[in-house]
């Protein structure tokens, strides 16, 4: 941690910082455990010109989820610019390995979050998926929204980066037609938006928390598809979710087409190791 950031944190906290411990954070941020005299806090720092927009979007998402009262998020203390970036200061949540009953709490909490609904898909502002911009212009048409504001930007980015070839990418209107045929007519649910195993934790007292959100009103199936992309959550999680919702309403095409978005994001962030999975899904559906 830079001296400038440490000084600014001390001023915000209003207390002397006793110790700063780096924590393994995200791929685009630095994370720190902050020890003060009588408490511990968590700080995330994003550098670069997108640092402040990313921090403010994360704050917005955490507060939005927290305001529903459905599932925990770390409380936000302060967010603001610093040096050539920005920082987010939050409560520190001591975590532990989740039990089956705690995973069930996570599942039922997520179901309750997904029950929060609006009439349109999108969000009141644009945000980010990882470090990549994510558009959220409001729409009543889920298939066009998902095609134009999720898949299409990632497909064109992959093309620009020469990670995909032009002949591998469907025409935009054909893409949207296929989505309409395969994805049904979902309601606009409040979703976490990036729900893999690294973006939840269970506190030492057994309370589930969601972290690092990429929120929007979207098909709840996006969260469910993401949970199974890199290994899946526990059976108790899905059972509890299903008890609240009457089942886990996700068929193979939905899973594949929603995972396509997250695989494209990983392709654009991390490169060619994800290209085979992306090409397989593009060939299967388009």
Single out the residue of 118, 34, 109 nearest to residue 69, CA to CA: 109
| CB-side neighbour CA atoms (13 Å) of 12 | 20
Token digits of residue 105: 């709490």
Beta bridge partners of 34: 20, 41
- Exactly one of 60, 194, 212, 219 is catalytic; which is it? 194
Residue 194 annotated among the catalytic residues of the structure: yes
3-class DSSP state of 47: strand
Tokens 């269970």 correspond to 202
Q: How far apart are CA 102 and CA 98, in angstroms?
A: 6
| DSSP single-letter state for residue 65 | H
Note the Cα 134 to chain centre separation in Å: 11
Beta bridge partners of 86: 46, 81
- As annotated, the active-site residues are 194
């Amino acid at each position: 941690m830079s001296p400038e950031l440490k000084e600014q944190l001390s001023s915000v906290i209003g207390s002397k910082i006793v110790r700063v411990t780096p924590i393994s954070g995200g791929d685009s941020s630095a994370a720190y455990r902050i020890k003060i005299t009588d408490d511990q806090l968590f700080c995330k720092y994003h550098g670069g010109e997108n640092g402040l927009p990313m921090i403010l979007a994360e704050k917005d998402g955490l507060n939005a989820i927290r305001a529903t009262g459905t599932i925990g998020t770390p409380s936000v203390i302060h967010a603001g610019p610093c040096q050539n970036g920005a920082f987010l200061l939050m409560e520190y949540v001591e975590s532990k390995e989740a039990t089956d009953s705690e995973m069930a709490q996570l599942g039922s909490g997520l179901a309750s979050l997904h029950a929060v609904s609006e009439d349109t898909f999108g969000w009141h502002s644009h945000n980010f998926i990882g470090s990549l911009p994510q558009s959220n212009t409001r729409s009543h048409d889920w298939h066009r929204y998902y095609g134009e504001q999720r898949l299409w930007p990632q497909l064109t980015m992959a093309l620009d980066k020469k990670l995909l070839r032009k002949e591998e990418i469907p025409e935009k209107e054909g893409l949207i037609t296929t989505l309409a045929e395969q994805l049904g007519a979902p309601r606009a649910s409040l979703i976490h938006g990036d729900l893999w195993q690294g973006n939840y934790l269970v506190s030492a007292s057994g309370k589930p928390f969601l972290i690092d959100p990429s929120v929007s009103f979207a098909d709840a199936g996006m969260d469910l598809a993401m949970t199974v992309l890199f290994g899946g959550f526990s059976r108790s999680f899905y059972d509890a979710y299903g008890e609240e919702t009457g089942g886990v309403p996700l068929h193979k095409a939905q899973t594949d087409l929603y995972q396509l978005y997250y695989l494209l994001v990983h392709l654009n962030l991390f490169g060619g190791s994800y290209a085979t999975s992306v090409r397989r899904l593009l060939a299967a559906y388009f």
